[in-house]
Structure 1
Amino acid sequence: MTNSQFTPGVVPGRLPPEEYAAGFADVAPPLGAHEARVAADRCYFCHDAPCTVACPTAIDIPLFIRQIATGTPGAAAKTIWSQNILGGMCARVCPTENLCEGACVREEAEGKPVEIGLLQRYATDTAMAEGAMPFARAAVTGKSVAVVGAGPSGLACAHRLAVKGHEVTIYDARPKPGGLNEYGIAAYKAPEGFAAREVDWLMQIGGITLVENWMLGRAGDGTLDDLLAEHDAVFLGIGLSGVNALGLPGAELATPATEFIAELRQSPDLATLPVGRKVVVIGGGMTAVDAAVQAKLLGAETSTIVYRRTQAEMPASAHEQEHALTHNVRIIPNAAPVSIAKAGDALEITFARTETTGAGLRKLDDTFTLKADQVFSAIGQALGPLPEGLAKAGSKLAVDGAGRTGLAKVWAGGDCTPAGEDLTVTAVAQGRDAAEDIHAFLMEA
């Protein structure tokens, strides 16, 4: 997986143990109680709250901040969780600078928003430390729902349905639940097993059964028809299981960045992970940044992101780009890969300079090469095979506004749908809203 089969320069243990510990420590240390009260006092508690409007899960942000300011973080956490049951993870990974904090009145007036993300983390971490689930199940309905995928959308859907009194079975293809929260984000964003701890906490609601290592359509597991025969409704939170192909000579010499990140996230000892001296990441999104930064933290001497458009057009937020630059990651914009080839004991990637024209992106005759021990591709993920009867909208699974697919009793949400934005918070909103629609359907049935 790590390109060590291609170059001898990809080896583990480049750093002393203390450097791994420091590099992968919490990237945004939490606020203490006093710091949280001070930060909360900066909120204007706007009546029309542009921050709430900007939040995909529509958390009542002024309310929860007021609750922190008055010394009731548990109440603040319940306000958050009533809209976003994965509010703890979202506080860690949301691009708040583009969402709630970007819309904050203080940001507009002073260039320094209220620290909404850190305040949300303070409230949810404080309440989770107390251990109790603040929601209770309604009377058991006798209805059963299958949720395929234990990522953010599936977990949010399952929890909301369990609260409504339905029995839920989550089927997941991986050995651990959590989806991208567990396997797909940089380790320094959610250290100390937070993703797993949040799932354990969520499962306290009861009424949810988790089936791991189960893949939809795989022989010996089950089909969509099997699930429909056993359950009253099905929610598909299947994410994007494939990766977009580079489509160039030598593409097999590159490793999907998602595989690298997943292996890193599950490693019990970072010193055992091979990394190259020179690392090149092709792509410009959050995954590209996470791979490039973590390669540096594992001991790469150089780590370079190459993106085909301008740096301003990179899908990774300005905050994430700045984070990469502060870790000495080089960003080369306006360059598209042409080929990857073996060059002695290294790999050589040829790039063509690009420009945007009225007809779209155009490769120029101007080319350059980069040598590397390790190449990662981070050019997006793709929808895997769909069960018969499900329609596509473009490259995603077609759904209506409530998450209903074209098949009766089947809903979907998260990254597998067109409204998915590769954000945990958006996936949570879709899973939650689909659960409400499923509940309405089940109560009418």
Structure 2
Amino acid sequence: MTNPMTPGIVAGRLSSAEVADNFADLHAPLDGHEALVAADRCYFCHDAPCITACPTDIDIPLFIRQIASGTPEAAAKTILSQNILGGMCARVCPTETLCEQACVREAAEGKPVIIGELQRYATDTLMEANVHPFERAPETGKRIAVVGAGPAGLACAHRLATKGHDVAVFDTRPKAGGLNEYGIATYKSVDNFAAKEVDWLLQIGGIQTHAGKALGADLSLAELTSDYDAVFLAIGLGGVNALRCDGEDKDGVLDAVDFIADLRQARDFTSVEIGRDVVVIGGGMTAVDAAVQAKLLGALNVSLVYRRGKDGMNASAFEQDLAASKGVRIITNASPKAVIGNGAVREIEFEYTDDALTPTGETFRLAADQVFKAIGQTLVGDELPDLEQGKIRVDSAGKTSMANVWAGGDCASGGEDLTVTAVAEGRDAAEDIHAALSA
């Protein structure tokens, strides 16, 4: 049913067949022959720059050599020993700005080894065999609470479980996975892969998940530190920044993260409502994901507007090109000034800015019946450890200002807001927690 306040926002703009085709796998998986051919391009560098560029320090030449030798399961173990969520990271990591950008063949030829696709080939091969290559150490009797079942929390929980500790993972959502389950573009993770990866990860044993448990409302940090030997906070960023312009409370102005989550959880994508004229405000991966998905759902006009220049966008050049290839118009150096409409958005006014973000006085308007905010998220929570620039302050091992409390992922200071970085922080915090509990 169409909302009378926002008649342009409707479901079913495209047929089921069109939507299914639009949301097919962004990168078709490699078959065995393709993987061997791709692996053969690797120089197997001794001092490999790709390893240094990987936030989880995967031995990339080793796993590619293992693929080349016909042992993808061994390659997967090499990957997963450093990055237990290597399957999802192979799908969503900005490899074009990390390992592949550092590849020697990229520097020499402008065509790197397709490291991300080879990583997916290896990890998928292992998961499809339903093999879990890790075992728990003897039980230690220690109990750790992990708050947040996203990449950082899951990586921490798995590493602690391998050490023989018992781990309780709490999350506000009904499903574990965090941004992997709720915040990644659907075309990047098809066939319910995020949930399958969580189920596979939990095969290690020793991890109990508890859904519908929010820090503050259902869980007290004081109680957790009393009941458990250690606590790891991986609560992410639950708030969304405001546009700070007139009219942003009008109908049709929505959070991009909610739009992405709703689409990820929809049984039928044609049931998801989308506008005719969609404007996405922001310059990161979330903005691109929202804009591209709006177009794939059948929005006629989709504009992505960012206050800085293209070089200042957090979304990689690959992501920007992907958006443009799907018909998204990218407008830079413009900030929202006012949302215009009688109760519901009809237009949004922008003002051009210079490189220093100073308004130029020149304005323009875009027709819009739906506006998605993707301008960053904020930490939400009370009685947290000390903060630094709006995030939980941690040292290099993830320790916070509170005794026996560690933190990692998007909620913690330092590092980039990437899945692969969150995994590294969760893994490293687990090692520090284990060391502290073993002292």
What is the TM-score when the length of structure 1 is the normalising length?
A: 0.97
1:217-232 matches, within 5 Å, as: 217-218=216-217, 221-232=218-229
**CA deviation vs aligned residue, 1:33-62 (integer Å, no higher than 9, x gap):** 010000000000000000000000000000
Note if contact 1:133-1:204 (Cα within 8 Å) is conserved in structure 2: yes
**CA deviation vs aligned residue, 1:368-411 (integer Å, no higher than 9, x gap):** 111111011100000112325x1111111100110000000000
Cα gap change, 1:34/1:228 in structure 2, threshold over 3 Å: closer, same or farther? same
- The alpha-carbon deviation at position 16 of structure 1 amounts to 1.0
Note if contact 1:355-1:363 (Cα within 8 Å) is conserved in structure 2: yes
Q: Secondary structure at the match of 2:351?
A: strand
- The alpha-carbon deviation at position 420 of structure 1 amounts to 3.8
- The alpha-carbon deviation at position 222 of structure 1 amounts to 2.0
**CA deviation vs aligned residue, 1:223-249 (integer Å, no higher than 9, x gap):** 011111111000000000111111111
1:404 is matched with which residue?
Answer: 399
2:326 is matched with which residue?
Answer: 327
Q: Aligned partners of 2:92, 2:184: CA distance in 1, in Å?
A: 8
2:411 is matched with which residue?
Answer: 416
Match of 1:438 among 430, 433, 437: 433
* Aligned residue identity for 1:365: G
**CA deviation vs aligned residue, 1:133-152 (integer Å, no higher than 9, x gap):** 10000010000000000000
Note if contact 2:49-2:103 (Cα within 8 Å) is conserved in structure 1: yes
Q: Aligned partners of 1:345, 1:106: CA distance in 2, in Å?
A: 52
More off after superposition, 171-180 vs 411-420: 411-420
2:232 is matched with which residue?
Answer: 235
**CA deviation vs aligned residue, 1:78-109 (integer Å, no higher than 9, x gap):** 00000000000000000000000000000000
2:198 is matched with which residue?
Answer: 199
Q: Secondary structure at the match of 2:11?
A: coil
Q: Aligned partners of 2:182, 2:164: CA distance in 1, in Å?
A: 30
2:380 is matched with which residue?
Answer: 384
* Aligned residue identity for 2:300: E
Q: Aligned partners of 2:311, 2:40: CA distance in 1, in Å?
A: 34
2:169 is matched with which residue?
Answer: 170
Cα gap change, 1:346/1:394 in structure 2, threshold over 3 Å: closer, same or farther? closer
1:347 aligns with 2:346: yes
Q: Aligned partners of 1:3, 1:243: CA distance in 2, in Å?
A: 27
Q: Secondary structure at the match of 2:168?
A: strand
- The alpha-carbon deviation at position 4 of structure 1 amounts to 4.7
Contiguous gaps of at least 5 residues in structure 2: none
1:35 aligns with 2:12: no
2:423 is matched with which residue?
Answer: 428
Q: Secondary structure at the match of 1:406?
A: coil
Q: Aligned partners of 1:232, 1:302: CA distance in 2, in Å?
A: 53
1:250 is matched with which residue?
Answer: 247
1:364 aligns with 2:364: no
* Aligned residue identity for 1:235: F
Q: Aligned partners of 2:4, 2:407: CA distance in 1, in Å?
A: 39
Q: Aligned partners of 2:242, 2:8: CA distance in 1, in Å?
A: 25
Q: Aligned partners of 1:400, 1:345: CA distance in 2, in Å?
A: 46
1:154-193 matches, within 5 Å, as: 154-193=153-192
Q: Aligned partners of 1:346, 1:257: CA distance in 2, in Å?
A: 16
- The alpha-carbon deviation at position 124 of structure 1 amounts to 0.1
- The alpha-carbon deviation at position 346 of structure 1 amounts to 5.3
Q: Aligned partners of 1:375, 1:361: CA distance in 2, in Å?
A: 22
Q: Aligned partners of 2:290, 2:97: CA distance in 1, in Å?
A: 21
Q: Aligned partners of 1:350, 1:3: CA distance in 2, in Å?
A: 25
2:139 is matched with which residue?
Answer: 140
* Aligned residue identity for 1:369: R
Contiguous gaps of at least 5 residues in structure 1: none
**CA deviation vs aligned residue, 1:163-210 (integer Å, no higher than 9, x gap):** 000000000000000000000010000011000000000000000000
- The alpha-carbon deviation at position 112 of structure 1 amounts to 0.2
- The alpha-carbon deviation at position 343 of structure 1 amounts to 5.5
2:389 is matched with which residue?
Answer: 394
* Aligned residue identity for 2:358: R
More off after superposition, 336-345 vs 311-320: 336-345
More off after superposition, 82-91 vs 222-231: 222-231
1:201-216 matches, within 5 Å, as: 201-216=200-215
* Aligned residue identity for 1:361: L
2:369 is matched with which residue?
Answer: 373
Note if contact 2:2-2:10 (Cα within 8 Å) is conserved in structure 1: no
Note if contact 1:3-1:255 (Cα within 8 Å) is conserved in structure 2: no
